[in-house]
Amino acid sequence: MASNAELVELTNQYLIANYGRLPIAMVRGEGARIWDADEKEYLDFFPGFGAGGIAGHCHPDIANAVAEQAELLMCAGNLFTNPAQVELARALAEKGFGGKTFFCHSGAEANEAARKLARLYAGPGRYKIISFNGCFHGRTMGALSLTPEKYHKGFEPMLPGNVKVDYMDLAAVTAAVDDETAGIIVEPIQGEGGVNVPTVEYMQGLRALCDEHKIALISDEVWTSPARTGKWFAYQHYDIEPDIMTLGKALGGGAPVEVMPLIGRISRRQQRRLGVRLSGHGLPPRACYSRRTSNRMSRPSARSEFVSVSGGARRRTVSCVQLMSRPFSRQRAKTSLPGPSSSMPTIMPLPRTALIRSPEWI
């Protein structure tokens, strides 16, 4: 196998430099550990921008399910029923708010679909989407338009109808809603802008505001779900249900599996109009591995096997149960949390922490 230096040189020769890559070529992983082309071993605290999920690298259940499905059927298109899609969608509905699911390939595409569906749901003349300073929803043009201005340079003009207000400022959101507003998109815990955790009252206020104006509440959970905060979905900490939710990254355990579940009150006609405008293949049958892993992790015996690696250089290891039983108080750089309050949900936001299996598997 080529060395780190050789692979980095080839990368510079053949790949666009759209990322500030480190001069390291990662070639294999297991649990919370990862190895480069020179066989140097690392403890991974940053599993693929969160795409590694809570199972770690190359979990045997995931790897085996992918291999089994690859021998059966890789892709059949959306004109046929896909058993793996059906099973994964059913698992998401049972663990979430019911409704139906739209499959796609990236978190940005899921947010694009959510934006379109919010406009369809709100009706003619209502096209504005409210997002928040410090958010991140993707780099495609529609999702980028919802994201802060620092990401816009060189790509202007953005799509019309984007309104940004401060996170955790319910009065500002209320003032921003008008007769042209179609929806509000919110991260239940902000990641890119720091680990910003809203209060229960704030999230419930957004829900009430959307109900009052008959607009869609979109919960962007590409970073927070599934099962990365102590519940399957982060919105469940706030005793609300969104109209639309977007999922990705950890759901696929490293493969491109992104979905957009939507609540039942969004009509079948609106769903069909969305479907003819997006995603030629949706999610191929290999999605089954996420469903199998999700089902396995939903068992109490499996949940107790997972631990969190945190604590920086000390490599402090604590159990998920310990983490979820106390409020999150430790802050890292760029972290912004409200002060102690009974309204704060007891959650542990982990957008950049590897969750792995028990130590004997590391």
Active site residues: 136, 220, 249
208 Cβ contact partners less than 8 Å away, ≥ 6 residues apart: none
CB 75 within 8 A of CB 52: no
Strands lying side by side in the sheet with 307-310: 316-319, 307-310, 355-356
Residues sharing a CB contact under 8 Å with residue 243, sequence separation 6 or more, in sequence order = 118, 121, 183, 210, 216, 217, 218, 262, 263, 265, 266
CA 109 – CA 259 distance, rounded (Å)? 9
Q: How many helices (H) and strands (E) does the chain have?
A: 11, 13
Amino acid in position 263: I
Q: How many C-beta neighbours within 10 Å does residue 138 have?
A: 23
CA distance 301 to 288: 21
> For the chain, what is the radius of gyration of the CA atoms?
20
Instruction: Determine the length of the chain.
Output: 362
H or E stretch at 319: strand 316-319
**Peptide bond connecting 349 to the previous residue in cis, omega within 30 degrees of 0:** no
Q: What is the DSSP letter of 255?
A: S
Question: How far is it, in rounded angstroms, from Cα 181 to Cα 122?
Answer: 8
Strands, DSSP E only, in 92-149? 100-104, 128-132
User: 342 CB contacts (<8 Å, ≥6 apart)?
Assistant: none
